[in-house]
Structure 1
Amino acid sequence: MQSVTPNESSVAATSSSTAAAVAKTKILDKKKQQALAHDRISYPFWFGGSASSFAACVTHPLDLVKVRLQLRSGDAPKNMSGTFMHIVRNQGPLGLYNGLTASLLRQMTYSTVRFGVYEELKARFTPADGTKPSLPLLIGLSTFSGFLGGISGNAADVTNVRMQQDLALPQAQRRGYKHGLDGMFRMLREEGPKSWFRGVWPNSTRAALMNASQLASYDTIKGLLMEYTPLGDTTTTHFASSLVAGFVATTICSPVDVIKSRVMSTSHEQGIAHLLRDIYAKEGITWMFKGWVPAFLRLGPQTICTFMFLEAHRKVYRRFKGIED
C-alpha cells in the first residue's frame, strides 16, 4: 500500500479548504444576485396598505390598550395587563376591537402612501450599476414618504384614536361613531374641516420618524442578511429584520406618539408647547416613554406582521408573473 506523506496531506487539506471557500463565495454571490434581482422588481403601489391592513387585524387590541394607557385618567388601570382585563370585563372580548374600522381606514390611506411612495422613490434612486442605496439615502426617502403618509391618513387617525378612547369616557362625553367613515364625516359636519387635520404636525412628524426608523432599518438589515449570510430571502430573514425594525421604531417614535394621542383626543385647539409644559409639570421626563411596553408589544408584532404579509404579497406576485425565486 502506498503511504501518504505529510506534505501530500497538507496539500489535500489546503485544496479542500480552498474548495470550501470557493463554494461559500459562490453561495454568497448567488444571494447577492438574488437580493439585487428582488430589489429591481416593481410591485403594485397598494401592497403596503394591504399588508398593513392584514397586520392591523392581528394587532389592533394592543394598539387599543396603548391608546387607553396614554390617555388614562382618574382611577383607570395603570398597566397593560390591567387595562386589557378592564376592557374584557366591561366590554367583552369584542371590546378589544373598538375602532377597528377606523384603524383599517387609516392603514388604507397612511400605509398605502408611505410604502408606495417609498418603494417608487427607492426604485428611482437605485443606481443603474446595481449598487444598493446608502442608509442615509434610505432614511431621507422613507422620512419624506412617511411625512406624506401622515398627512394623507390624518383624518382616519383622528377617528381611530377617538373610537379607541370612546368607551373609556363618561357616557355624556362619548361620541358614538358607528364606524370609521361615520366618524370622519361627523367630524366634518360638527367640527369643520380643521378637525381632519387636528394634530397633523405631530402625526406627520411621527409618521416620518416611524417610516425612517422602520423601513430604512428593515431594508438595511434584510440586505445585510441576504448578502453576508446563507439565509437568503427567507422567512427567518424577514422575521429578524422586522423585529429589529420594530424595536428601533418604537423607541424613536414614543415621545411623538404620546403627544399625537393627547392632541387628537381633544375637541379643542391646544398648542404643542403648552401641552408639553403641562405634561412635563405633571409627569416629568418619563412622559416620553409612557406606554412604551404596550407600544412595542403592539408595534413589534405589527412590524413583523406587516413585513411578513408584505413579503407574502411579493412572493405571490413573483409566482403570478413567473419570476423565479
Structure 2
Amino acid sequence: MGLKGFVEGGIASIIAGCSTHPLDLIKVRMQLQGEAGAPNPAVQTARPALAFQSPSAAHIHVPPPRVGPLAVGIRIVQQDGAAALFSGVSATVLRQTLYSTTRMGLYDILKKRWTDPGTGNMPLTSKIGAGLLAGGIGAAVGNPADVAMVRMQADGRLPAAQRRNYKSVIDAISQMSKREGVTSLWRGSSLTVNRAMLVTASQLASYDQIKETILSKGLMKDGIGTHVTASFAAGFVASVASNPVDVIKTRVMNMKVEAGKEPPYSGAVDCAMKTVRAEGAMSLYKGFVPTISRQGPFTVVLFVTLEQVRKLLKDF
C-alpha cells in the first residue's frame, strides 16, 4: 500500500509539472528582476543619453522598469522561440520524480498512520506535521534537480557570451559537479527544504482540510468540482506561504561563483537582507502573479490527476 502512494503521487506530479513548466520559467525570470548585475528580461536596450543631460545626471542609477509575466513570456518567445518556454523541462521531470514522488508518497503513508480510525479523519495539526516532514525529506532528495532547473530556466536571460548552455539536466548536474564541486548540487538546500516544508504542509494539508469541509457540510459532492475548488484554494495558500523563500532560493541557486572572488551572497539570510535593502520588502513577493498563476493550475492539475489515478489504481 505504501508504494502505491508513491506511484500515484509521482504520476500526478510529473503531469502537473510538465503542463505548468512555462509558468514556472516566467516566475523564475521575474524573481531575478532587479538583482544586481542582472539584465532586465523585457527591456535590454539602454536609452541613449540626451544631449542636454548633465555629466552628473548620467551617473544616476535609474532602476529598470519591472515587467509583468505576459511581457516576460512574449519577450522569451521573441528572443528564443516558443520552445524556450520549456527550457529546463528535463530538470522538471527529474525534480518531480525525486522530490514530489517522495513527498506525496511519504505524506500518504503518514496520513494513513495518523488518521483517526473512529472518524476516518486526520486532525489539521497532524496534516500540517505530515506535510512539513514529507516536504523536507522530499526536498533534500530532489535538490540537485532543483538547482539544475533554476540554472537552466535562468540561462536565457544572460548575454549569449555568459550563458552556461546546458544541454540537459544531466549535463547541468555534470558541469556543476566538475566546475563548482559536488556540494554545489545542494546549494540553497536549506532554502529548498524550508520552501518544500511550507509548500507541502500548506498545499496538501489545506487541500485535504478544504475537501473534507466541503463534503462534510454537503456543499458539493465528491467529484471534479470539489477537487478543483479545494485544489485552487490550496494553491493560493501555498503561494502566499512560500513566495518569499522561493525568491531567495532562486537567487542563491542562480548566483555565479567565480574562482578567487567573493560569492554575491554568503547564504540565505545575507541574500534576503541584500534583496530587501536594495529593492524593498515587497521584493520578496516578486513573481507572485506568475507564482499563483502557476501554483493554482499546478495544484489543480496535481490533485485532479491524483484523484483520477487513484480511481484507476484502486484495485491494485
Quick check: TM above 0.5? yes
Contact in 2 for aligned 1:250/1:296 (Cα 8 Å): yes
Query: Which residue of the other structure, out of 220, 226, 229, is the alignment partner of 1:240?
Result: 229
- Verify the 8 A CA contact 2:139 2:196 in the aligned structure 1: yes
Find the counterpart in structure 2 of residue 48 from structure 1: 9
Structure of higher CA gyration radius: 1
**Aligned twin of 1:198:** 187
1:168-317 equivalences in 2 (<5 Å): 168-229=157-218, 231-268=220-257, 269=263, 270-317=266-313
SS at 1:108 equivalent: helix
Query: Normalization by structure 2: what TM-score?
Result: 0.85
CA contact (8 A) 2:202 2:241 kept: yes
For 2:173 and 2:147, locate their aligned partners in 1 and report how far apart those are by CA, in whole Å: 8
Q: Does 1:141 align with 2:120?
A: no
Query: CA 1:195/1:64 → structure 2, altered by over 3 Å: closer, same or farther?
Result: same
Alignment partners' CA distance in 2, 1:182 and 1:81: 30
Return structure 1 stretches of 4+ with deviation > 4 angstroms. none
Distance in 2 (alpha carbons) for counterparts of 1:86 and 1:307: 32
Q: 1:252-280 deviations in whole A, cap 9, x for unaligned?
A: 10100000000000133522222122111
- Amino acid in structure 2 at the alignment position of 1:85: I
Once the two structures are superposed, the pairs formed by residues 56-205 of structure 1 within 5 Å of their partners are 56-72=17-33, 73-77=38-42, 78-205=67-194
Distance, in Å, in 2 between the alignment partners of 1:200 and 1:172 is 28
Q: CA deviation at 1:232?
A: 2.8
In the TM superposition, residue 42 of structure 1 has moved relative to its aligned partner by 8.3
Alpha-carbon spacing, 1:276–1:55, altered in 2? closer, same or farther (3 Å): same
TM-score by structure 1 length? Answer: 0.83
Q: Secondary structure at the match of 2:310?
A: helix
The CA deviation string for residues 176-195 of structure 1, in whole angstroms up to 9 with x for no partner, is 11111221122122211111
Query: How big is each residue's C-alpha offset from its partner over 1:160-203, in whole Å with a ceiling of 9 and x where there is no partner?
Result: 00000111111222111111122112212221111111000011
Query: How far apart, CA to CA, are the structure 1 residues paired with 2:161 and 2:20?
Result: 29
SS in 2 for 1:132: coil
Contact 1:43 1:314 in 2 (8 A): no
Provide the identity percentage: 41
Amino acid at match of 1:62: L
8 Å CA contact retained: 1:68, 1:165: yes
8 A contact 1:209–1:252 mirrored in 2: yes
- Consecutive unaligned residues of structure 2, counting only runs of 5 or more, are 43-66, 258-262
Report the 3-state secondary structure (helix = DSSP H, G, I; strand = E; otherwise coil) of the residue aligned with 1:45: helix
The alignment covers a number of residue pairs equal to 281
Name the structure where helix makes up a greater proportion of residues. 1
Amino acid at match of 2:137: L
Tell me how large the CA RMSD over aligned residues is: 1.6
Structure 1 alignment gaps of length 5 or more: 1-39
Superposed counterparts of 1:15-54, under 5 Å: 43-54=4-15
